[in-house]
Homo-oligomer: A and B are copies of this chain.
Amino acid sequence: MNPDSLQDLIRAAVAFRDQRDWAQFHNPKELAISLAVESAELLQIMQWYKGEELQRVVTEKHAHLKDELADVLFSVLLLADELKIDLGPAFLEKLAKTGAKYPVGKSKGSPKKYTEL
């Protein structure tokens, strides 16, 4: 088991699910709900904070943020398995597409959406 390997992590997530017989609850829609719920839990930790207070919260709650990010990744890995998406290559392909929408010359230093560049 190599913890840096997406394929190995997916296998670990799937084994965890199957030991609990949870595949019956995990269609892609339910997993996407789970992803949205876990993402909101991550965001909730930093809600209302800004500036120095935000930095303090990020430091103090680091373990909590880590756990929530891991929960998000759990949903991502199960979705990749369920949808038979080869996650690494899919990511690199999308990065190339996004790069074409946001060429360096136009998007550098700008927070604008590509439709407004």
Contacts and interface: CB of A to CB of B under 8 A. Distances in A.
Interface of A: 2-7, 9, 12-13, 16, 19-22, 24-25, 27-30, 32-37, 39-50, 53-54, 58, 62, 65-67, 69-74, 76-77, 79-80, 83, 85, 87-95, 97-99, 102, 104, 107-109, 111
Contacts of A32: 39, 42-43, 45-46
A83 B65 contact: yes
Given A6-B6, A83-B69, A94-B70, A37 B44 contact: yes
Nearest to A34: B47
A79 B69 CA distance: 8
Q: Among the interface residues A79, A89, A97, which one has the most CB atoms of the partner chain B within 10 A?
A: A79
